Amino acid sequence: MTALSLAPVLDTTAAAPLRQALLDLIASGDAIALDGGQVTQAGQACLQVLASAQAMAASIRTDFELQNPSEALASMITLAGLDRLVTPAA
Amino acid sequence: MNLDEIQQIFFQECEEGLGALESAFADLKRGRHDDETINTVFRSVHSIKGGAGAFGHDRLQHFSHHYETVLDLIRNGTLPLSEPLIDLIVAAFDTLTDHVAAARGEGGMPADQAMLDRLAAAAEGKIEGGAEAAPEVEAVADTPAPAPAPMDDFDALFAMLEEPAAPAAETAPAEWIVTVHPGPRAFDHGAEPMLALRELSRMGARTLSADLSDLPLLDGLDAERSYMGFTLALPGTTDEDDIRAVFDFADPQCRLTVTRATEEVVPAAPAPEPEAVEPAPAAPPVAAPAPVATAPAPLAAVPAAPAPVEPAAPSLAEVANSPRVAAAAAQTIRVDLDKLDRLVNLVGELVITQAMLAQRLSENEMGSIPELSDLDHLTRELQDSTMAIRAQPMKTVFSRVPRIIRELEVETGKRVRLEVEGEMTEVDKTVVERIGEPLTHLIRNAVDHGLETPADRKAVGKDGEGVVTLSAAHQSGRIVITVADDGRGIDRARVKAKAIERGIIAPDAQLSEEEIDNLIFAPGFSTAAVVSNISGRGVGMDVVRKNIQALGGRIGIQSELGKGSSFSLSLPLTLAVLDGMIVTVGDQTFVIPLTHIVESLRPGIDEVHFVGGQSPLLDVRGTYVPVHRVGEQLGVGGATRKPEDAVLIVVESDQGQAVLMVDSIQDQRQVVVKSLEANYRAIHGLAGATILGDGRVALILDVDALIGRWRRDGRSGGAFIEDLAA
């Protein structure tokens, strides 16, 4: 499974394209696998897109994985209280 | 309060914010900075951005948004603070200042694209003039990071978690539980609610949970609408106002609650079952069973901290109206300046009435009753307190100087270190408002004329970086502002030669060092070989002196060739009262400001000399000083004509010493200055008027203007009377 690499800047303007990319991924029937290693900025708009995608994946019984979050992304996830977004490393 | 008034407050706050930034940059440049310094910068820019969005200043908001992004990356440690980066954020600050000025309508919109490009590049770790500070992403990518590593933001949090909770719980107040729902339009105008959370985390907050109950599934989600809410815990010692202040510029629909957790739940020990309280947003509908491997303690504490969520969280506007917030805000209030001026005026009237009462009582032999001295004491205290309300720190003016210096460094290629002392010295608002321009001239003069180029400095054994010192201090009831440089000093031989060449002085004139120094204030005088944008047009220093004189001040110069110069501005603390000598001339009473008076005397016959048909001259310890008969020259009838029958008052003016001849001295006291411009019209030679204890009006002499005029064209009383009659 190839992980979709998240854009470095996940600000409000990046939220709509991210939502669309995730919808496309879900529509393709593939599991959602994301790599957060390149992210340098993350805002609430993108975080809630990710949380919503995770919920949607659960509702259709598709796997959702966010791996390898950068320090910037990980800190914002913790700050937003969304630690469950991140898949623990094996 | 209407929108315009609120906007004015915003601009005042911008001004204060920009002032705070200048101080922070001074620390950064000197390497004396810590996390709080960059936080201060961030907060100021964040507030400006918030206000700009609220008032529709889109360009200002756009710029500050990008500026803030870089600052945020610095403070979260992504961008290491290097010298080129400091230079960039200082340069960006200048553009921000221009944007604020443009928003106020005080200048054109600055061209900011180049700066925005530099900020955008910096945000990606590409900083001009420095090694690329690659965001530490690669390192993270190489090493899988299952859990967020401790970073600056969370140091306080981790430190707090490691501390044994029990002892703290015995003494510390209960934690704050803060719930935030940013409001659906929270992302409008580039706003980012997470920044507020980050600010809270810096204050020691930890996020307990996210409220995702309103979050739709992805297909029904509007990417530009905020759906989330957050619950955080902050140390109980945090000031509630500080917590609320983080949301000052939040979207009006933002819902915020700040409540104390119950005492029992502070330690993470057995928690009571939360009854009838919603179990907070600990169980959002998002089905994501993945266990949270890190930080179990705070999460475990969530249900234990039942956050007494209020049934309906009040909006920010409601919160602002709550009595507790109002009480805290009452510590400082903003007052319309007109109201303050009216108060100052009324106190002035009270002082005058008190003087009248004192005179009337003394006429009836009741001048020594204790109530009168009590009233005198109270009136004076009231006057001092009122004046203190108008007092502002010189910092407001001084904070603009670093930018001027930066621009001058670029224009002249010189290197300048600015040292500031006494910036908290307070002075009347009017003085603060009007001192800016002359001070700017002096700073420009110090850098352009005073300091040498780095090469020249090194050639004479000085440090390549010149020092300009700006200081303010109270001295004998006045404020003295000094602009000093360690440059080349005044070349008096050159100044004198130039003055002779310009026809300002006669070739054979014998001048003291002080008189030569004062030549630089002569209109049209400039020794600059090349006319530059900065100086050299000879229209600077004479304007400086005029402006200072208009404020009732004077300029002194001290200079040593090769070592530097120092210009001292001595100004009254307030323009509303002055110490004056009350004198009689014929049937009139005048006030001579005490700052001009050197001495007063009754001359012996042999001390006054008549040379030809000119004015008499007084022999003041070997120096002959011209005597001006005030009565004659102001056209006042009945004044004494013979110097030996009169009182001679030696005064210092910007034209040198002179003697004013009056009939007698009545008193010396503080008088309330009434503006002639405001009540009648400006009259050359008069600084204003005052009302005496007997109710009569006395005119206050503008000594510099009168003596200058008498010396220049020998105009007599007729011309003065024409002025009055015109």
Taking CA–CA distances from A90, the nearest residue in chain B reads B146
Nearest alpha-carbon partner for B569 in B448, B461, B427, B356: B427
Q: Do the chains contact at B148 and A74, CB–CB below 8 Å?
A: yes
Tokens of B59: 């360009």
Classify residue B96 as exposed, middle or buried by CB count within 10 Å of its CB (0-12, 13-18, 19+).
buried
Local confidence band at B268 (pLDDT 50, 70, 90 cut-offs): very low
- List chain A residues with CB under 8 Å of B124: 8, 40
- List chain B residues with CB under 8 Å of A22: 218
- List chain A residues with CB under 8 Å of B227: 48
**What is the share, in percent, of chain B residues with pLDDT greater than 90?**
15
Please state, in angstroms and rounded to a whole number, the distance separating the CA atoms of residues A36 and A8.
8
Nearest alpha-carbon partner for B599 in B617, B631, B615, B621: B621
Q: Which of B141, B219, B226 sits opposite A68 (nearest CB)?
A: B141
Q: Is B726 on the interface with A (CB under 8 A)?
A: no
Give per-residue burial for B611-621: e unless 16+ CB within 10 Å, then b. eeeebbbbebe
Taking CA–CA distances from A68, the nearest residue in chain B reads B144
- List chain A residues with CB under 8 Å of B78: 40, 71-72
The pLDDT of A20-40, averaged and rounded, is: 90
Q: By mean pLDDT, which of B41-55, B179-193, B394-408, B712-726 is the weakest? A: B712-726
Probe site for chain A from B161, B194, B211, B292 (most A CB atoms < 10 A)? B194
Residue A81 lies in a domain: yes
Write out pLDDT tens, residues B490-543: 989 888 888 888 888 888 888 888 888 888 887 767 655 444 444 444 446 877
Q: What pLDDT shows up at residue B5?
A: 65
- Residue B219 DSSP symbol: G
Q: What pLDDT shows up at residue B477?
A: 64
Q: Do the chains contact at B78 and A72, CB–CB below 8 Å?
A: yes
Q: Do the chains contact at B124 and A86, CB–CB below 8 Å?
A: no
Q: Do the chains contact at A70 and B141, CB–CB below 8 Å?
A: yes
The pLDDT of B183-188, averaged and rounded, is: 87
- List chain A residues with CB under 8 Å of B187: 12, 43-45
Portion 337-396 of B in contact with A at CB < 8 A: none
Write out pLDDT tens, residues B198-257: 889 888 899 998 999 889 999 899 999 999 999 999 988 888 888 888 887 777 788 899
β pairing state of B597-601 and B647-653: antiparallel
Contact B155, B223 (CB under 8 A): no
Backbone torsion region of residue B19, taken as left when φ is above 0, otherwise alpha when ψ lies between -120 and 50, otherwise beta? alpha
Residue A2 Cα, gap to closest chain B Cα (Å): 16
Q: Which of A41, A75, A81 sits opposite B210 (nearest CB)?
A: A81
Q: Do the chains contact at B210 and A82, CB–CB below 8 Å?
A: yes
Nearest alpha-carbon partner for B599 in B685, B506, B663, B665: B665
Which one of B24-33, B391-400, B429-438, B556-565 scores highest in mean pLDDT? Answer: B556-565
Residue B386 has pLDDT above 70, yes or no: yes
Portion 113-152 of B in contact with A at CB < 8 A: 123-124, 135-137, 140-141, 144-149, 151
Residue A45 lies in a domain: yes
Nearest alpha-carbon partner for B379 in B362, B354, B356, B344: B354
Q: Is B198 on the interface with A (CB under 8 A)?
A: yes
Nearest alpha-carbon partner for B662 in B726, B603, B712: B603
- List chain A residues with CB under 8 Å of B246: none
Residue B321 has pLDDT above 50, yes or no: no
Q: Is B173 on the interface with A (CB under 8 A)?
A: no
Backbone torsion region of residue B477, taken as left when φ is above 0, otherwise alpha when ψ lies between -120 and 50, otherwise beta? left
Local confidence band at B651 (pLDDT 50, 70, 90 cut-offs): very high
Domain of residue A36, residue span = 2-85
Residue A74 Cα, gap to closest chain B Cα (Å): 5
Tokens of B39: 């936080």
Q: By mean pLDDT, which of B235-239, B302-306, B650-654 is the weakest? A: B302-306
Q: State the CB neighbour count (10 A cutoff) for residue B119.
A: 23
Q: Do the chains contact at B135 and A59, CB–CB below 8 Å?
A: no
Please state, in angstroms and rounded to a whole number, the distance separating the CA atoms of residues B521 and B556.
11
Residue B718 has pLDDT above 70, yes or no: no
Taking CA–CA distances from A42, the nearest residue in chain B reads B194
Q: Distances from the Cα of B430 to the Cαs of A27, B279, B394, B441, B637, in angstroms?
A: 69, 58, 12, 19, 37
Nearest alpha-carbon partner for B565 in B546, B587, B541, B530: B541
Residue A64 lies in a domain: yes
Local confidence band at B174 (pLDDT 50, 70, 90 cut-offs): confident
Q: For chain B, percent helix, then strand, then coil, each to nearest 5?
A: 45, 20, 35
Q: Which of B182, B198, B217 sits opposite A55 (nearest CB)?
A: B217
Contact B180, B256 (CB under 8 A): yes
The pLDDT of B706-722, averaged and rounded, is: 60
Phi/psi at B43 (nearest 5 deg)? Answer: -60, -45
Residue B16 Cα, gap to closest chain A Cα (Å): 29
The secondary structure element, H or E, covering residue B393 is strand B391-393
The pLDDT of B611-619, averaged and rounded, is: 79
CATH of the domain at A51: 3.30.750.24
Q: Is B192 on the interface with A (CB under 8 A)?
A: yes
Local confidence band at B484 (pLDDT 50, 70, 90 cut-offs): very high
Please state, in angstroms and rounded to a whole number, the distance separating the CA atoms of residues B617 and B627.
5
Write out pLDDT tens, residues B195-204: 889 889 888 8
Residue B398 has pLDDT above 50, yes or no: yes
- List chain A residues with CB under 8 Å of B215: 48, 51-52, 55
Probe site for chain A from B69, B119, B140 (most A CB atoms < 10 A)? B140
Q: Do the chains contact at A44 and B182, CB–CB below 8 Å?
A: yes
Q: What pLDDT shows up at residue B262?
A: 67
Write out pLDDT tens, residues B529-568: 444 444 444 446 877 888 887 787 778 889 999 999 999 9
Tokens of B267: 């330690």
Q: What pLDDT shows up at residue B383?
A: 82
In total, how many domains does chain A have?
1
Q: What ipTM does the predicted assembly reach?
A: 0.94
Q: What pLDDT shows up at residue B709?
A: 77
Local confidence band at A53 (pLDDT 50, 70, 90 cut-offs): very high
Q: Do the chains contact at A81 and B208, CB–CB below 8 Å?
A: yes
Q: Which of B219, B231, B290 sits opposite A87 (nearest CB)?
A: B290
Phi/psi at B34 (nearest 5 deg)? Answer: -135, -175
Residue A90 lies in a domain: no
Residue B161 has pLDDT above 90, yes or no: no
